[in-house]
Amino acid sequence: MSTCLSRRHFLGTSAFNLGSLGLLSLLQQDGLIGAEAPEKPLLDRVTYDNLPKKPHHEPKAKAMISLFMGGGPSHIDMFDPKPLLNKWDGKIFPGGEIKFDNAGGATKTVMGSPFKFSRHGDSGMELSELIPHTATLADDICLVRSMNLTGIRNHVAGMKALDTGSGISGRPALGSWLSYGLGSVSQNLPAFVSLVVGKNPPGSPYWASGLLPSVYQGTHVREQQPRIMNLDAPDYLKGAAQEKQLSLLEKLNGRHLLEHPGELDLQARIASYQLAARMQTAASDALDLSGETEATKALYGLNDDRTRRLAEACIIARRLVERGVRFVQIWDYSWDMHENINEALVRRCGNNDQPSAALVKDLKSRGMLDSTLVFWGGEMGRLPVIQGRGNAKPGRDHNTDGFSIWMAGGGVKAGHVHGATDDWGLNAVDQVVHHYDYLATVLHLFGLDANRLTYKRNGRAETILNGQPGQVVKGILA
């Protein structure tokens, strides 16, 4: 390496600084994220990329769109009717122990649901009047009423558990594991994209690659413009100037990599630079909604202020999957309702129901649903008793012992209800699905065995299950 122009000196002093070379969000933790170098020299250089890879068995799903409703949608008001709650409304709960997350505002006074449930579709699935659009999907979705996060009560740990397999920090997100195991169909777009609607969920980012090489971390797409920071080169760098600059950077990085084999962070950075350049055209096209038909915009509620934000995210998710993105996760952290739940839940469902249902309908109409797994749900539900907090309009505290999610397409049963909670909606009691079972099932639908998809680190074979006994939930498989 020349003493007058070292790689580090070039990166630090060039007028064409890194911010202009492409996707800064892919490089935020430059030098900090990724796996450690191998303990012993390898005869063959280990490389990590997003080229397509073969699954362990024939997959049902090729892509996934996760609508993650952080905060805890109330299953007993939306998906899981409990007539006993209305019978005991205002009375002291006669059952066993209730585990509170916020004991200060807790009561044991039963709180019935004011929302009516009715049966829908040929399946007769019972759903609340709060979600009329989702109700039209009764014969398309698989409703799981027996989710459980044992020993976890709060949002951050709960979201991490459902997204990474563990309630602690530092574990790879589901999208990172899928990118690592299968790569991406498209080499012009990331394998894993994360969109946030509204505020970031606490404990973000949930799209980190954790202990996996940082080439597998998710790309953050924002609500506001520019949706991807620093994607486009400035005017003075466009065209031939950028090509020459990237070519020089690639040569310098390649030389450095030869001198330091096994630097996985460097491999990831090189791949990030290259991807960022390719994305300048591909991502701009994928994120441009102007070509969508008026019928599609109306289906999602794109022109309605109540539904516009989630509608935009859902349409972008569909456009990304159409173009070969493996995993798209939409984060909507707005479902935590310790107060005034009977009014707040009406507003939240009014914002969310139409775009969520439209995504499934749109995928189905385009022939994409069979190969695209859609997830809707959060990290918890709500308790069947009042949380007061001194407010005349009460809410419900967290419930991780029994709650509901739904899935559609990608190899799951349609028009099916799996599992059940007890008569109070408090505990999952039948065909219980733990968070690690859910993750093992998702990987199975993608043709991956959760115990065989390993990453070796410090002599240990890491998996998404992290030592937990995750089982494929065969009862929901089509």
Rounded Cα distance between 174 and 329, Å, is 10
Q: How far apart are CA 388 and CA 457, in angstroms?
A: 47
Residue with tokens 């055209």: 281
Q: What is the mean pLDDT of residues 39-51?
A: 63
- pLDDT grade, residue 34 (50/70/90)? very low
Alpha-carbon distances of 272 from 28, 267, 333, rounded to whole Å: 11, 9, 29
Average pLDDT, the chain: 86
How much is the pTM?
0.84
**pLDDT score of 338 more than 70:** yes
Domain ranges across the chain: 1-32+238-276, 59-228+287-476
Q: What is the pLDDT of residue 273?
A: 56
C-alpha to C-alpha distance for 248 and 279, rounded to whole angstroms: 19
**Can you give the length of the chain in residues?**
478
Q: Is 399 in a helix, a strand, or coil? A: strand
The continuous run of DSSP H or E covering 279 comes out as helix 264-286
Taking residues 359-374, report their average pLDDT.
Answer: 98
**Distance of CA 117 to CAs 344, 351, 395, Å?**
18, 20, 20
95: left (phi over 0), alpha (psi -120 to 50) or beta: beta
Task: Please report how many Cα atoms fall inside a 13 Å half-sphere around the Cα of residue 344, on the Cβ side.
Answer: 16
- Decide if pLDDT at 236 tops 70: no
| Per-residue pLDDT tens digits for 271-313 | 655 555 556 656 788 899 999 999 999 999 999 999 999 999 9
Amino acid sitting at position 196: V
Higher pLDDT, 70 or 276: 70
Are residues 127 and 137 in contact, defined by beta-carbon separation less than 8 angstroms? no
Dihedral in degrees, nearest 10, Cα atoms 219, 222, 225, 226: -20
Q: 376 φ, ψ to 5°?
A: -135, 125
Strand-pair category, 141-148 with 416-418? parallel
Of residues 274 and 139, which shows the higher confidence score? 139
Q: Which CATH superfamily hosts domain 59-228+287-476?
A: Alkaline Phosphatase, subunit A (3.40.720.10)
Q: Please give the pLDDT value at position 394.
A: 93
Exposed / middle / buried, residue 198 (Cβ in 10 Å: 0-12, 13-18, 19+): middle
